[in-house]
Amino acid sequence: MRNRRRLPALHGLIVAATLAFAAPASASTWAHPVNIVAIRAQPDTAAKRVATTRLLTEDKLAEVYLVLQRRDGWVKVRVPGRPNGRTGWVRRTALGPLNTVDTRITVNRKTATLTLTKAGRTVFKTRVGVGKPSTPTPAGHFWVREKLRLTNAPMYGAYALGTSAYAKVSDWPGGGVVGIHGTDQPELIPGRPSHGCVRVRNADMTRLYTFTPVGTPITIV
């Protein structure tokens, strides 16, 4: 009987420990793929294929998948590529180690601002340039797939963040991918000078690059 009386207290300790080690609400999880596999509409090998994982980005860096949910050996991920906004399921074994970040970027196209938060607190905010009305920066939920140091490309500055967003036209080499990068025309910021990318003054881009890890979620409104 004594042991039974102690069970509720023990259960409380277990719950408290679980909560203590759980990721905070502001955290997000990401992983690199380790296999090329089908991404399914449901956590079932017979479900419709949404896409196929890819190991590298367009810039030949390790691809990044944002993890949304885990269930019975499956992982729900956001899918980079057109059309924007796709999600799907892969086996947990298709991904490498899970990584956690507590940073988040929000781009407001109306106010031409970019805000970086960490653990829910604003650590950086700046004015930016976004897409023209004819070539808009797409709205939605995205993430940072790669961090790039640039050379001999003054129109992009010294640093850039490659995102999972795709535009009809883009300033980025190869087209399509929406980058967050520096500029050699800071006088156009704030404004709508781009073909879809987000332009940041070079000094601000250096700070953003420093404080933003791969896997950081991006919300564009």
C-alpha 29/C-alpha 42 separation (Å) is 20
Assign 66 to helix, strand or coil.
strand
Is residue 12 pLDDT above 60, yes or no? no
- Which fold is adopted by the domain 102-220? L,D-transpeptidase catalytic domain-like (2.40.440)
Please check the confidence at residue 15 and state whether its pLDDT lies above 80: no
pLDDT in tens, 17-34: 333 334 456 689 999 999
Domains 25-100 and 102-220 share a fold: no
- Give the chain's end-to-end CA distance (angstroms, integer): 59
pLDDT tens-digit readout, 104-130? 999 999 999 999 999 999 999 999 999
Q: What is the pLDDT of residue 153?
A: 84
Assign 181 to helix, strand or coil.
strand
The yes-or-no verdict on residue 16 having pLDDT over 60 is no
- Record the pTM: 0.85
- What are the boundaries of each domain within the chain? 25-100, 102-220
Q: What is the mean pLDDT of the chain?
A: 89
CATH T-level assignment (fold) for domain 25-100: SH3 type barrels. (2.30.30)
Cβ count within 10 A of residue 48: 11
Q: Which residues are catalytic?
A: 181, 197
When pLDDT is cut at 50, 70 and 90, the band that residue 11 belongs to is very low
Tens of pLDDT, residues 143-169 = 999 999 998 888 899 999 999 999 876
